[in-house]
Amino acid sequence: MSLALLSGLGLMAAKIVELIETNSKVSEKKEALLSYYLRGVTVLDTNLRGLKKHQFNQNLLYRIDPVTGLYARNATGTAALTFQQLLMEVPQNSAPLTSFVFQKKFDTRFLSYTAICIPVSNAMANTGITYASISKNTLWPFVRKINNFVKVHCCQRRYPNCTTNPVLTSNSTYTVQVYRNDPSTNVLTPLLRGGDYKAVSGLGYFIFSHKTNEKSLFARYFVFYNECMSQRIMNGVTRPKCNKAISLKTTELLKDLDLSNEGTNNLGGEIGI
């Protein structure tokens, strides 16, 4: 009788420990997701302030139509870009920027942050990726709001309204990564690496203007986690009972551009088209 009771208590204690460990892991993942979200929002919000109109090439900036909600380029429309134009969209210094490239001043140089779509199967393979190669990337993250729900699709630059390659699903073949380039050392660093994928499956941003108000600049930022996707990223396969739920945090920032052509952002940051 006493042995059976002790055995039952032992099983109960083991279950309690397992429950505590599970809750602890869930809590750690939520904290990591929140940390990436807050850091991204802070950087975008800080560097969107005080920007000048001359810092942007309006021909490369995507604009949203307030009626249809669809994106298009300002002047070049949906025309395909040449390789040289693509290189312009991933500037080395403080040149006009793009919907997928963000710059932040660090000491006397500008660090460039580039958001691109990458296959889930290659998310951990960073060898061979260069600053020039990401400028020729095939697919880019377009972030849309439909009925207050955020949707992320990996589209070609000239087809921003595609509905293929959805990112925010457990079986997506693409995720979104942000790379930081330091021009002084020519080092390209992924923001998500190794163990980060235990709590974050992807993050990115999309910057655009408004068809009826060209001085307004919008930025949509997102970070998400899906257990099945993260397992595929880290291990190449998923466990049969992986959780298909998507944990998603998003924000949309709106800033007004300074239309004057004098001076620069006194915070040293530039964000762009």
Sequence length of the chain is 273
pLDDT given at position 246: 92
C-alpha to C-alpha distance for 221 and 228, rounded to whole angstroms? 22
pLDDT given at position 6: 47
Number of alpha carbons in the 13 Å side-chain half-sphere of residue 188: 18
What integer best gives the mean pLDDT of the chain?
77
pTM summary value: 0.79
Least confident of 66-80, 115-129, 183-197: 66-80
250/269: higher pLDDT = 250
C-alpha to C-alpha distance for 58 and 150, rounded to whole angstroms? 25
How does residue 20 score in pLDDT terms, banded at 50, 70 and 90? very low
pLDDT given at position 268: 41
142/136: higher pLDDT = 142
pLDDT exceeds cutoff 90 at 176:
yes
CA dihedral 92, 233, 33, 49 (to 10 degrees): 20
Strand partners of residue 248: 224
How does residue 163 score in pLDDT terms, banded at 50, 70 and 90? very high
DSSP state of 94: S
Strand partners of residue 145: 150
pLDDT exceeds cutoff 60 at 137:
yes
C-alpha to C-alpha distance for 121 and 34, rounded to whole angstroms? 25
234/254: higher pLDDT = 234
Query: What is the CB neighbour count within 10 angstroms for residue 142?
Result: 27
pLDDT given at position 205: 92
80/29: higher pLDDT = 29
Please compute the mean of the pLDDT values over residues 144-173 and round it to a whole number.
Answer: 91
How does residue 54 score in pLDDT terms, banded at 50, 70 and 90? low
* Domain edges within the chain: 2-271
pLDDT exceeds cutoff 70 at 25:
no
